[in-house]
Amino acid sequence: MSARKHSREGTFPPAPEPLPVAVPDSHTHLDITLEDDGQGGPATVADAVSAASAAGVDRLVQVGCDVESSRWGVEVAAEHPAVVATVALHPNDAARLADLDGALREIERLAAHPRVRGIGETGLDYFRTGEDGRKAQHESFRAHIAIAKRYGKTLVIHDRDAHDDVLAVLDEEGAPDQVVMHCFSGDESFARECLDRGYLLSFAGTVTFGNAAHLRRAAAITPLDGLLVETDAPFLTPTPYRGRPNASYLVPLTVRALADVTGHDLDALCAAISANGDRAFGSWR
């Protein structure tokens, strides 16, 4: 998600009961979350990290959406052992850039940094970008796939209303070794398509939403070694706080919902999510 600043209402929710085994938040936007600091949320990266850690969320993946946020994420990851970064041009931003090639060169330069563990979020978004932006989106997506493969980094996919085309482009280009479907938004059959290809499915607060039975069915068929969890903070705050600002310390709400849906024991689920996070994004420390 990106480019939806100032759409949250109200204050940050209270901290939930901590998780029994610490997990990573596989996808967060600290830069945007910190803009909401007047709402009782974290005021600094250190605050966000310590609030998350107290809730049993001991590692964060800071996700870049443009050159500026990608550069910022690399700096933060270099400074904070609990944070690693991904760098990319978001598909909706890619469609609007005057100099896509120049921006891609800068993303490629950042990709070499050892604290950069992923290339993303990239992919396709047919919800916010119309026909006129699709050519640039596809060109950018293919370029990001190539960068991920050149640098041996995990590809972090943003897919909104574009399931078939995302898979078609990945199949055609050849996917990198590790692919994460961020904020997984498909149904059971799309989940199977992704799992058959070895992709990890990262579930966000959307899995707790009342209208998301298809996501819960998708989660229920995902094996333990295919699951990740994320906030996409400050967006997509889980039930019962939907609409309020989100942050990594709220991950336990989504993990507990996933435990209910999948029937997995909470400790085993957390341990699997932790191991999958390390597999996708390397060791944090």
By C-beta, is 8 or 264 nearer to Zn ion?
Answer: 8
By C-beta, is 20 or 72 nearer to Zn ion?
Answer: 72
- Angle, helices 131-151 vs 163-173, to 10°: value is 40
**Least distance CB 264 / Zn ion (angstroms):** 25
User: Which of 59, 115, 158, 256 touches Zn ion by CB under 5 A?
Assistant: 158
By C-beta, is 90 or 244 nearer to Zn ion?
Answer: 90
By C-beta, is 93 or 232 nearer to Zn ion?
Answer: 232
Q: Restricting to residues 117-156, name those near Zn ion by CB under 5 A.
A: 121
Binding of residue 1 to Zn ion (CB under 5 A): yes
Residue 24 is classified by DSSP as E
Cβ neighbours for 77, distance < 8 A, ≥ 6 positions apart: 62, 83, 84, 85, 113, 115, 116
Binding of residue 232 to Zn ion (CB under 5 A): yes
**Least distance CB 179 / Zn ion (angstroms):** 14
**Alpha-carbon gap, residue 10 to 20, rounded angstroms:** 29
Binding of residue 66 to Zn ion (CB under 5 A): no
Backbone φ/ψ region at 236: left (φ over 0), alpha (ψ -120 to 50), beta: left
Binding of residue 180 to Zn ion (CB under 5 A): no
Q: Is 246 helix (H, G, I), strand (E, B) or coil?
A: coil
Closest CA to 283 of 112, 80, 82: 82
**Least distance CB 263 / Zn ion (angstroms):** 28
By C-beta, is 115 or 158 nearer to Zn ion?
Answer: 158
Cβ neighbours for 144, distance < 8 A, ≥ 6 positions apart: 88, 89, 104, 107, 119, 120, 122, 155
Q: Rule CB under 5 A: which residues touch Zn ion?
A: 1, 121, 158, 232
